[in-house]
Amino acid sequence: MIYLGLAAIALVLVALVLSDGSDSVGGVIEPDQLASLAWTGMILILVVAGFWRQFTARLGANLRAFLAWALIGLALVIGYSYRDRIQGITSRVVGELRPGTATSGADGAVTITRRADGDFRVEAEVNGRVQPFLFDTGASSVVLTAENAAALGLTPAPSEFTARVSTANGITYAAPIQLDALTVGTITERRVNAMVARPGALSANLLGQSFLSRLSGYEVRGDRLILRRP
């Protein structure tokens, strides 16, 4: 390889020596440009030759390393090309392993997998803190238990529990509040009207219509709850 390169440079030098002083060699390239090309090519050949000698000195190990890096590069290219599909598969696996975890699809829809007890329990963020909710289309509002509300710093006075709230379990009284933000997966709604139930009235937070009615739609498909962003 190095001998072929040196032979090519020698031919370039011969062409320069035999040139008649015209502005170009062979009517294609100027002598100065050809000389610069020959000098650059010589340096490149020396560098490549040095690397090639080191490469062939440990040919087996270097070939294995080259193959490993080539496979890593190929995996990265494939992963980037199919990133949306891979993300969907990953989200589905997470949803199966942790029912209640909100996973997002490429279309922005959020999916929650049904728990073994048959309920859809949704992990949501209320004012930036994670809270578990029970999906309840029969609840007219988002409702927090008194205990979970207190953990968020929301403690209505006893006289504020005046609102009748309809839930799947019947009627209870609650105190009206407003949540700064309620987030499920990639869906965030701000200034959401909600209620705090009387102490002992509820055993779980309810994800009700004051949040669900803001969505463009929601549906239960088999063991999956699908929420569609506004």
Of these ranges, 11-25, 71-85, 143-157, the one predicted with the greatest mean pLDDT is: 143-157
Q: Which of 52-66, 107-121, 191-205 has the lowest mean pLDDT?
A: 52-66
pTM of the predicted protein model? 0.57
DSSP letter at 114 equals P
Angle made by CA atoms 186, 189, 195, in degrees to the nearest 5: 125
Cβ within 8 Å of residue 131, ≥6 positions away = 123, 124, 125, 144, 148, 152, 205
Q: What is the pLDDT of residues 6-60, one digit of tens each?
A: 565 566 556 555 555 555 555 555 656 656 666 676 677 666 666 666 667 676 7
Of all residues in the chain, the percent with pLDDT exceeding 90 is 30
164 vs 141: CA distance, rounded Å: 10
Angle made by CA atoms 209, 215, 220, in degrees to the nearest 5: 80
Q: What is the pLDDT of residues 116-125, one digit of tens each?
A: 778 889 999 9
